[in-house]
A and B are shown apart, each in its own frame.
Chain A
Amino acid sequence: MTCLPSQGGKKLGLVIDLDTCVGCQACVTACKEWNTGGHMAPLTDIDPYGGTVDGVWFNRVHAYEHTTEMGGRTVNFPRSCLHCETPACVTVCPTGASYKRASDGIVLIDEDKCIGCKLCSWACPYGAREFDTDVGVMKKCTLCVDRIYNDNLAEEDRVPACVAACPTSARHFGDLGDPLSAVSQLVAERGGVDLMPELGYQPTNKYLPPRAHTQRAASVPAPALEPVRTEGGFLGWVDRMLSN
């Protein structure tokens, strides 16, 4: 049923730190690598070695220039499904293929029921869903549902592939329905925000804004370089000749 389940306590999701994300795309490739063989497989690529390459990805990293009166800075911005609490992508689905799990809040697609009408992708303001033209069904982030509960993996690997891959720990996974969880406390501490809160989708995933600019520059112990002294004599004459 595409009616939303009554909200349980558990809300699994991601917390993404825009301060430490360096835009290396490791999460993007790790996601593609895992998920092209995972729950929503395949993540089809069309014409992968041609001039009009296209394909399905669950996670895309944008780069923005944020300019305020404090100055400008580059912000790398990973964009993926936010596993909203009121996901219109689920309620608009005519077939029941899209659903939100009552047990942990993950939004998934049953590929065998999807008719590929694309309405869910229109209903998602964040562009989280991508259509697989080859299979004819919609695809989206599964929060690596086939990793996080996977008993065959070591305990520390039971996190989404993007989280496991991040070299700067800019991605955190946990239960955002539990105010005492590490991710919830991180959100509280850093002032984590919802994306497009005015639309009322109540995303589960939170973004930690970049930390404020600081005047405290790191001290450099090496002496500053001195300007090069003008050479006199024969070498000075050669230098002047060659510089002309």
Chain B
Amino acid sequence: MHPAFSVVFFTTATGAGYGLLALLGMLGGFQIIPPDFWLGFIGMGLALGLIAAGLLSSTGHLGRPERAWRAFSQWRSSWLSREGVASVATFVPAGLFGIGWVALGKTGDWVGIAGLVAACGAVITVCTTGMIYASLKPIAQWHSRFTLPGYLIFSAMTGSVLLNALLQGFAVGSKMLLVACLLLTLLGWGWKLATWRYNDALEIPTTANTATGLVGGTVRSLEWPHTEENYLLKEMGFRIARKHSARLRQITQVLAFALPVLLLSATFALPWSFAAVLSVLAAIAQLSGMLVERWLFFAEAKHTVMLYYGR
């Protein structure tokens, strides 16, 4: 599948944004994180900024963005519509929580409830994003049991690493959160390796035989219907060389998982200023690595229509 930058950025940014929002909503609303104006302002600004930037970026993928409002109507059947509804609906409790926690400096009570509701909304939105891909039968690499948990794990992972960078920056970092960041990053690493392993061994029942209804033997594409690339080849026929894929997987592992694990481990033993710098570096490395991961998620996915083209 063609890795459109708007969608790669959208899923990575909103994943991290909703992860951070969910953690802030739960931990801030119940005073596990101290109510500090600048901490709250930057934290909520970062979370909502990532979400808004991602959502705006996704409309760049549309042919008729001015009609985007219509996408809220078909939530009964469409995961994309559900994602639209959930993402916008989550802004309401998130906004209330932001006002209460940041502007009024309150925790608990209705602010705590708004924080919890925002956290639920964030989790639901990430689930809907994952289901958009997991529900597509023609793309076997996405239509698997790895996709939805992957989106949730990566959202929690990037969100927690961002939160850690934020708290370390304000010198209120916690060992508990560091441990959580490390465990989530290791879980994400393991999940990604398992996903790649599953995809590499994938054998699907759909073949050129079932695609053409020709039984037995081999079906070889002799002639395409057209000499130039068409929409199908541009959108669904994206191919990546095996050697590039292997290199990009290594880059993903280093940036998104290995480097953050090293940097976060080092922060345990270091004084505040170093810990803060390393935590921020860990977050930047991980988000860059996740952009590569998401690019590969698209580039390595194969659509059944390419069977008609002998690919």
Residues of A near any B CB (own CB < 8 A): 1-4, 18, 25, 28, 52-57, 60-69, 74-75, 77, 79, 88, 90-97, 113-119, 121-127, 130-133, 135-138, 193-201, 207, 209-210
Contacts and interface: CB of A to CB of B under 8 A. Distances in A.
24 contacts: A2-B74, A57-B226, A62-B308, A64-B212, A66-B212, A67-B218, A68-B217, A74-B222, A90-B77, A94-B73, A95-B71, A114-B64, A115-B62, A115-B68, A117-B63, A119-B80, A121-B236, A123-B136, A124-B138, A125-B138, A126-B211, A133-B63, A138-B63, A199-B138
Nearest to A127: B305
A34 B216 CA distance: 37
B211 A196 contact: yes
Nearest to A209: B213
B186 interface: no
Interface in B56-74: 61-65, 67-68, 70-74
A131 B1 contact: no
B212 A75 contact: yes
B29 interface: no
Given A60-B225, A94-B70, A131-B235, A207 B213 contact: yes
Among A68, A127, A200, A209, which residue has the most Cβ atoms of chain B within 10 A?
A127
B205 interface: yes
A212 B224 CA distance: 25
Interface string B251-271: 000000000000000000000
A160 B184 CA distance: 57
Nearest to A193: B213
Contact of B220 (A67, A121, A125, A135): A67
Among B74, B79, B217, B230, which residue has the most Cβ atoms of chain A within 10 A?
B74
- Nearest 7 CB-CB pairings of A with B: A116-B63, A136-B63, A68-B217, A127-B305, A60-B225, A94-B81, A125-B138
A54 B229 contact: yes
Among A69, A119, A201, which residue has the most Cβ atoms of chain B within 10 A?
A119
B59 to A, nearest CB: 9
Given A125-B206, A125-B305, A68 B221 contact: no
A193 B215 CA distance: 10
Interface string B195-220: 00000000001101011111111111
A235 B74 CA distance: 88
B232 interface: yes
Contacts of A94: 70-74, 78, 80-81, 84
Given A18-B212, A95-B73, A207-B212, 19 more contacts: A4-B77, A55-B230, A56-B231, A57-B226, A62-B309, A66-B212, A77-B308, A92-B77, A92-B132, A95-B74, A97-B70, A115-B62, A130-B232, A138-B63, A194-B213, A195-B210, A199-B137, A199-B206, A209-B213
Interface residues of B, number: 58
Interface of B: 1, 61-65, 67-68, 70-74, 76-81, 84, 132, 135-139, 205-206, 208, 210-226, 228-232, 235-236, 303-305, 308-309
Nearest to A210: B214
B206 A60 contact: no
B210 A197 contact: yes
A193 B67 CA distance: 39
Contact of A62 (B70, B213, B223): B223
A56 B217 CA distance: 33
Among A28, A90, A116, which residue has the most Cβ atoms of chain B within 10 A?
A116
Nearest to A192: B213
Given A95-B71, A96-B74, A117-B62, A79 B217 contact: no
